[in-house]
């Protein structure tokens, strides 16, 4: 029982972090500038009318001053995609996906933008359990997994209580079986929640923003040329300890060094 309560208490920060990351932060605005503050409706209207630069400016202001969420990032991605700025569109779609990987519109738009990139990187073969884990992970966002974890824990506690206080052996056996089942589900849900929260906090992936980048064998321009990647390519950051260079890895397993200023963190 103590372990269950401890795990429930651990989930609470996950809920709080998810709400904060999805735009729960706010800022006090000077009342003299209220008329100049863009609204989400105005930004959407500018997008519908095809004034994408104005919409981009409005969406960015809202994000900077009122907080972020997956929809705002997706709207920004849509604006950049309309302007044929594929790398920047992918960047914002990836940020939206990071917050809410369960949104089908975000997934669709991200895949659509990826089809427009030069590099077609084939991921390395993964174990079945890894593929299964990743597919289940994106069924809900971090907040959804955290809420589900609390619900499953609550059901487990109720069933444990039923097992302890029921006088009928049949009910006790059924309660025990289901309590174990819900406990295992709650643990799995907790793992998904903590994994997604870790992804939100680590931010160890980036999008290449330059038209083309030569990946080097060492963190210097004199290093051996390994291969070339292009704008819109997604990379994982392995080593960012140097000031001007980062070590990156592609989804196909290839690694190397690139300048910091050619990419932008997701």
Would you give the DSSP letter of residue 27? Answer: -
Contact (CB, 8 A) for 57 and 51: no
Decide: helix, strand or coil at residue 212: strand
What's the confidence (pLDDT) of residue 10?
A: 54
d(CA 85, CA 82): 8
Predicted TM-score (pTM) of this structure? 0.82
**Rounded-to-10 torsion of CA 109, 115, 121, 127:** 50
The string of DSSP codes covering 223-250 is SPEEEEEETT-EEEEEE--SSSEEEEE-
One pLDDT digit (tens) per residue for the chain, 266 residues:
444 445 554 554 555 544 444 443 333 333 333 347 889 999 999 999 999 999 999 999 999 999 899 999 999 999 999 999 999 999 999 999 999 999 999 999 999 999 999 998 888 887 888 889 999 999 999 999 999 999 999 999 999 999 888 888 888 999 999 999 999 999 999 999 999 999 888 889 999 999 999 999 999 999 999 999 999 999 999 999 999 999 999 999 999 999 999 999 99
What's the confidence (pLDDT) of residue 192?
A: 96
For residue 174, give both structure tokens.
């059924």
What's the confidence (pLDDT) of residue 198?
A: 92
What's the confidence (pLDDT) of residue 123?
A: 84
CB count in 10 Å sphere of residue 14:
22
Greatest CA separation for the chain: 78
Contact (CB, 8 A) for 74 and 82: no
What's the confidence (pLDDT) of residue 240?
A: 93
Residue with tokens 């009910």: 171
CA distances to 81, 176, 178 from 181, in Å: 45, 9, 5
CA distances to 19, 70, 179, 191 from 24, in Å: 6, 12, 35, 24
What's the confidence (pLDDT) of residue 35?
A: 47
């Amino acid at each position: 029982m103590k372990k269950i309560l401890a795990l429930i208490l651990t989930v609470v920060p996950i809920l709080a972090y998810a709400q904060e990351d999805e735009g729960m932060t706010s800022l006090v605005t000077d009342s003299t500038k209220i008329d100049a503050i863009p609204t989400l409706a105005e930004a959407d209207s500018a997008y519908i009318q095809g004034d994408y630069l104005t919409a981009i400016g409005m969406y960015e202001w809202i994000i900077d001053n009122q907080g972020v969420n997956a929809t705002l990032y997706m709207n920004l991605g849509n604006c950049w995609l309309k302007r044929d700025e594929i790398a920047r569109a992918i960047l914002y779609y990836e940020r939206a996906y990071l917050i809410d990987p369960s949104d089908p519109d975000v997934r669709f738009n991200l895949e659509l933008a990826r089809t427009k990139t030069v590099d077609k990187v084939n991921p390395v073969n993964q174990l079945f359990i890894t593929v299964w884990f990743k597919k289940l992970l994106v069924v809900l966002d971090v907040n959804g997994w955290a809420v589900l974890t609390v619900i499953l824990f609550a059901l487990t506690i109720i069933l444990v209580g039923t097992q302890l206080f029921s006088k009928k052996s049949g009910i006790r056996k059924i309660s025990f079986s289901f309590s174990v089942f819900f406990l295992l589900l709650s643990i799995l849900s907790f793992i998904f929640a903590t994994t997604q929260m870790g992804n939100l906090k680590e931010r160890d992936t980036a999008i290449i923003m330059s038209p083309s980048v030569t990946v080097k064998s060492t963190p210097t321009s004199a290093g051996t040329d390994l291969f070339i990647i292009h704008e819109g390519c997604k990379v994982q950051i392995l080593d960012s300890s140097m000031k001007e260079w980062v070590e990156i890895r592609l989804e196909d397993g290839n690694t190397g060094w690139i300048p910091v200023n050619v990419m932008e963190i997701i």
